[in-house]
Amino acid sequence: MNAIDIKLWRELWNMRMQAMAIAMVIIGGVAIFITFFSTYHSLYETRENYYQDNHFADVFASLKRAPISLVKRIEDIPGVDKVETRVVTYVNLDIAGYDDPVSGHIISEPDKKKSLLNQIYLEDGQPLEPNRDNQIIISQEFADAHQLKPGDKLKANINGRNKSLTIAGTGLSPEYIYQIAPGAMFPDYKSYGVMWMARTPLASAYDMTGAFNDISLTVTKGTNLQDVIDELDNLLAPYGGIGAYSRKDQLSNRYLSQELKQLKNMATLFPIIFLGVAAFLLNVVISRLIALEREQIATLKAFGYSNIAVGMHYSKLVLMIVTIGVILGIALGIWMGKGLSGLYMNIFSLPYMHYLLKPEVIASATLVSFGVALMGTLYAVNNAIRLSPAQGMRPEQPMTYRPTLIEKLGIQTHFSQSSRMILRHLERHPVKSFLTTIGISLACGIMMVSGFQKGAINKMLDVQYNMSQHEDLMALYTEPTSTRSLYSVKNIQGVELAEGFRNISANLTFEHRSYRTSVKGVEPNQVLTKLLDSELKPIKVPEQGVIITDYLSQQLHIKVGDTLTIKVLEGNRPILQVPVVGTAKEYLGLNVYMQRHTLNRLLKEGDVISGTYLKVDEKYQKQVYKDLTNMPKVVGVVEQKSAIKSFYQTMNDTILLFSFVSTLLGGSIAFGVVYNSMRIALSERNRELASLRVLGLRRSEIAYILLGEQAIITLFAIPIGFLIGNGFCAYLAMKFDSDLYRIPFVLENNVYATAALVVIVSSLLSALMIWRNLAHLDMVAVLKAKE
Amino acid sequence: MQSTQTQISENNQLSQSIEKEVVFELEGITKIYQMGEVQVHALRGVDLKLYEGELSVLLGPSGSGKSTLLNILGGLDTPTKGSVIYHKVLDDKDEIIDLSAASEHQLTEYRRFNVGFVFQFYNLIPSLTARENVAVVTEIAKAPMTPEQALELVGLGERFDHFPAQLSGGEQQRVAIARAIAKNPDVLLCDEPTGALDSKTGIKVLEALQRVNQELGTTTAVITHNAGIAQMANRVISLSDGQITDIHTNKTLISPKDLSW
């Protein structure tokens, strides 16, 4: 090794704490980059493989009942490749030892062959035996939630008759990667499951022999999906088709796509911040090192080392620190990426997760890190390159100071000499003071993001379920039913309130934009579900016109006063023209609301409802649920609260992990910035402080000068950090917005408090380390040595 | 070796007979620095007394141990062996500090309230004006003069509000002296105060030192390797190789401006 390289290693060793603090910030940036990108690619590729292996369909549609003979005509639609019809039913289940309501979908499996599309991935047990009416395969998540295994039994209410079913196997389906009950917003594997049963017995139980109520198909490459969907809609319309949709709009796939989008957002924003901070720190540290080594640089040049060699020398130091950061960052990123991918495998029902770390991800993380670091230190290294030997031998000019602005105002008499030193030093180095402040602010801002997510989800649930939806149960009817049915519902013991609603599938159009959702007809004075305005105050649905979700109005670019075209996808499929009279704040889903009577009238139907919201005395809730499910017209009962509870459990684990990681990362930035800036200040002012010690100042008094400056910077940084954090959170909230859900932009006081606390604790920690260094100030050396 | 020791103690006796109070009493001071695997003997058994109000010069080439001695007197360093007793000059009672056994905290308090320091390279705080550099010390002292008084004393009456970068070397050193004396210290320790200055400026600095010593009666010790300066001192203590080789008392003191530089 060259002598000059040995010098490099020794210097790195001497500044190991500072180097580690910088490397930690780089590790953070690289690790986040690797974690999110590798998880993104893993999730993306796994989904693609899974879809391909298990023949996930391109187009889906449900209908009331159509004869099998219709299939021939569907197959003739240009571009259609494979077609599979199914019988799908919604059933209530009874699981031994579990008292709360459970429901599920039973999907038919072809009797003698494997299904063509949306094939089951069998995890455990055996495939279904043909024609067996007492065998089912259940979804793995559902099995896990109830600890069911092949051979166990459960009871299902199949078309009014309780039937005991044996579990043949457990499995997963590409159609239900995100598995939620109809009407629910979150998965609840305990109360909802997907199951498969042989077609013949299922069809005969539901009078579907020779018929189907669900169809999925694939298309050949290059086919225009919309044409196929339109054709299919035309064919299915007479059979009660409620509109076909493509894979893009398939619920499970939509959730997954939304998640992928979020991963990509996270993967870019944070690494940029981390690497920016690291570049700043490297600049500060290398600048200081070069200033300290002026004479050495001059000596080396006097001995004949070229400018380039000197420049390379200091660049190498930067590269060594970055290399440590990148290598450890990649390692940490792989570890966290695998962890996060595993977490996704559980949140989403995926049969496997191929962890995929693309070489280009590693390459770009490495290149960007090195590039940013070298750019950040360009100025400092250039100073070393340009220093002429003769100039370097002379000591640097002393700093010129001036009274600060504050002092010019004439209030300096209130400041001690130490305080004046602090203020003048801050003002003398405006760029450094500013960048240090921003560095700490960024740490504070990053910290706020983790707190924000938790608060936002709480807010979302609070608005949705405490302010907007007050019902305990929601009963859905098999078909539009007279409002008279409400009387029998109200008569069930324990029901305190029952309010009917009408619900139809529809395609909304305004100008060239359209969106498929449901139109809800609600009672004008209903108590159980309330619409809220932007200030979260309840609003009433007027007799004429519709109120739509605020986000829907943005998506369709429709304003209050415009006319919305509603293409109803049920019944005689009328096309309605209705004015928009208001918007409602909703965080989940996109909806259209109008008065039920108005909707009934527009649909030219009687006084009918599609379901009922119920307020139930908690004591009787289970019994009410049982009674409801036994009513012939009730197809299913949804219990929102248990879904929220289980959602919370899933989210809590994820959020806890996320909070821990972001606290660590935010703390590492705060510590990195504060510790380094204090170390540099100590090095720059070593002589000054030691002289003051000689003059009899106590350690606490010189600590005040050094740490006081940092304290001022930190105190300035925190409010700026709050602003930056606000910006980050607003940005993320905006990026996370989708038709499935919107993240409300709310920041609670505790989010601010936690962020400030982490910054303060990190600062105190570095202050403590500096305090120890101050004990070892060499007073004897300053008597002699000239800087 | 033996004869030198005898001579020194005779000299001490001689000085004592002038009946001045002893301020510093050093006995058998040894200082060994561990420099890696090598032991450096900076001081090898030094006995010395310094008296109230006297201006003494510690003379010696570099490596003679004079700086180490000054550091020990100033409470910046402690001896490896031997005792250093500081007698605080008080009107009614005699307060004693054993510098060789003092804690870090005690040494700080000792420097804070008793010692004034003048550095070779001034060591002014660049971000503070002349007046404020002095105020750094007066703010923590028990019975200081005002910064203005101290600066007047060293002849810098008009430059109160200048920052160090706006002052010449000699002016900076005089600010440093003002800073050292402003707290009315009992002891003034100067480490090569003219080392970084040309002779003309150096004389001004020495004049300031002498004036302080004469007008305030501050016990003053000056380190130098410049033998010329020795003529302005009451006593000249010569060091070589970590030992005192000679203590010489000047019968007549020469004013700094007449010193042969």
Which uninterrupted H or E stretch holds B167? none
User: A209 pLDDT band (50/70/90 cuts)?
Assistant: very high
Q: Is A545 left (phi over 0), alpha (psi -120 to 50) or beta?
A: left
What does the DSSP 8-state code read for residue A207? T
Q: Pick the residue from chain B with its C-alpha nearest to A784.
A: B120
Q: Is residue A489 part of a domain?
A: yes
- Same domain assignment for residues A448 and A496: no
How far away is chain B from the Cα of A699, in angstroms, using its nearest Cα?
9
From the list B112, B119, B135, the residue facing A691 with the nearest CB is B119
Helices (H) and strands (E) in chain B, counts: 7, 10
DSSP-derived secondary structure for A218-243: EE-TT--HHHHHHHHHHHHGGGT---
Find the CATH number of the domain harbouring B64.
Answer: 3.40.50.300
Q: Are B226 and B219 in contact (CB under 8 A)?
A: no
- A18 falls within a domain: no
Answer whether residue A230 shows pLDDT above 70: yes
Decide which of A616, A643, A670 is a domain's last residue: A643
Q: Is B47 on the interface with A (CB under 8 A)?
A: no
Give the span between the Cα atoms of B242 and B246, in whole angstroms. 12
CB spacing of B111 vs A695 below 8 angstroms: yes
Dump the DSSP string for A751-772: HHHHHHHHHHHHHHHHHHHHHH
What residue of B is the nearest CA neighbor of A397? B165
Residue entry with tokens 């187009």: A59
pLDDT digits (tens, 9 = 90+) for A525-565: 888 888 999 888 999 899 999 999 999 999 999 999 999 99
- Same domain for A118 and A247, yes or no, is yes
**Same domain flag for A638 and A662:** no
Q: Is the CB of A400 inside 8 Å of chain B's CB atoms?
A: yes
Instruction: Confirm whether A561 is domain-assigned.
Output: yes
Count structural domains, chain B.
1
CB atoms B123 and A687 under 8 Å = yes
CB A527 within 8 A of CB A470: yes
Specify whether the CB–CB gap between A167 and A153 falls below 8 A.
Answer: yes
* Confidence check: pLDDT of A36 > 60: yes
Residue A136: pLDDT band (50, 70, 90) is very high
Per-residue pLDDT tens over the stretch A501-532: 999 989 899 999 989 888 999 998 888 888 99
Both A61 and A184 in one domain: the answer is yes
| Together in a domain, A635 and A741 | no
Q: For residue A570, what pLDDT is reported?
A: 81
**Which of B109, B127, B190, B197 should be substituted to probe chain A, the one whose Cβ sees the most A Cβ atoms within 10 Å?**
B127
pLDDT, position B3: 45
A457 with A527, same domain: the answer is no
Q: What average pLDDT does range A79-84 have in this prediction?
A: 94
Q: Å from A787 to nearest chain B CA?
A: 10
Query: CB distance from A430 to chain B under 8 Å?
Result: no
Do residue A472 and residue A445 come from a single domain? no
DSSP assignment of A63-87 equals EEEEETTHHHHHHTSTTEEEEEEE-
Note the pLDDT tens digit of each residue in A650-705.
666 677 777 777 788 888 888 888 888 888 888 888 888 988 998 889 999 999 99
Domain closes at, from A591, A623, A643: A643
CB-CB: which of B111, B119, B191 is closest to A696? B111
Taking CB atoms and an 8 Å cutoff, what residues of chain A touch B166? 400
With CB atoms and an 8 Å threshold, state whether B119 touches A421.
Answer: no
- Please say which residue of A600, A615, A643 terminates a domain: A643
Q: Give the rounded distance of the alpha carbon of A127 from its chain centre.
A: 36
| Residue A162 belongs to some domain of the structure | yes
Of B117, B126, B128, the CB nearest to A694: B117
Q: If DSSP codes are grouped into helix, strand and coil, which group holds residue A531?
A: strand
* Sequential DSSP letters for A262-294: HHHHHHHHHHHHHHHHHHHHHHHHHHHHHHHTH
Domain of residue A575, residue span: 468-643
How confident is residue A781, by pLDDT bands cut at 50, 70 and 90? confident
What secondary structure, in 3-state letters, does A495-517 show? EEEEEEEEEEEEEEEECCEEEEE
Residues B164, A398: C-beta atoms closer than 8 Å: yes
Q: Do A688 and B165 make contact, defined as CB atoms within 8 angstroms?
A: no
pLDDT, tens digit only, all 261 positions of chain B: 444 444 444 444 444 444 678 999 999 999 998 877 888 899 999 999 999 999 999 999 888 899 899 999 999 889 999 999 999 866 666 788 999 999 988 998 999 999 998 888 888 888 888 998 999 888 888 889 999 999 988 888 888 889 888 888 889 988 998 998 898 899 999 988 888 778 888 888 888 888 888 888 899 999 988 888 888 999 999 999 999 999 999 888 888 888 766
Contact A696 B179 (CB under 8 A): no
Q: Is B135 touching A (CB cutoff 8 A)?
A: yes
Answer whether A495's CB lies under 8 Å from A614's CB: yes
**Nearest to residue A24, comparing CAs of A276, A278, A268?**
A278
Alpha-carbon distance A395 to nearest alpha carbon in chain B (angstroms):
12
Residue B81's SS3 state is: strand
Q: What is residue A776's predicted lDDT score, i.e. its pLDDT?
A: 84
Write phi, then psi, for A725 (nearest 5 degrees). -60, -40
* pLDDT above 90 (res A34): yes
Q: Does residue A163 sit in helix, strand or coil?
A: strand
Instruction: With a cut of 50, say whether residue A787 has pLDDT above it.
Output: no
Task: Say what the pLDDT of residue A413 is.
Answer: 66
In a 10 Å sphere around its CB, with 0-12 CB exposed, 13-18 middle and 19+ buried, how is residue A676 labelled? buried
Is A730 domain-assigned?
A: yes
Q: How many domains does chain A have?
A: 3
Is A381 part of a structural domain of the chain?
Answer: no
Distance from CA of B190 to the nearest CA of A (A): 10
Q: How far is B7 from chain A (nearest CA, A)?
A: 31
B108: contact with A, CB 8 A cutoff: yes
Sequence-separated (6 or more) residues with CB below 8 Å from residue B249? B11, B14, B15, B234, B235, B236
- Facing residue for A784 by CB, picked from B120, B129, B140: B120
- Chain A positions in Cβ-Cβ contact with residue B122 (cut-off 8 Å): none
Residues of chain A neighbouring B113 (CB-CB closer than 8 A): 696
Domain contains A680: yes
Q: How many residues does chain A have?
A: 787
DSSP A376: H
Residues A673 and A579 in one domain: no
Residue A549: strand, helix, or coil: strand
Would you say how long chain B is, in residues?
261
Task: Give yes or no for A693 touching B (CB within 8 A).
Answer: yes
A237 and A100 in a common domain:
yes
Query: A480 and A440 share a domain?
Result: no
Domain enclosing residue B172, as ranges = 2-258
pLDDT score for B92: 65
Contact A688 B123 (CB under 8 A): yes
8 Å CB contact between A573 and A606: no
Residues A451 and A550 in one domain: no
Give the helix, strand, coil percentages of chain B, each rounded to 5. 35, 30, 35
Q: Would you say B39 and B219 are in contact if contact means Cβ atoms under 8 Å apart?
A: no
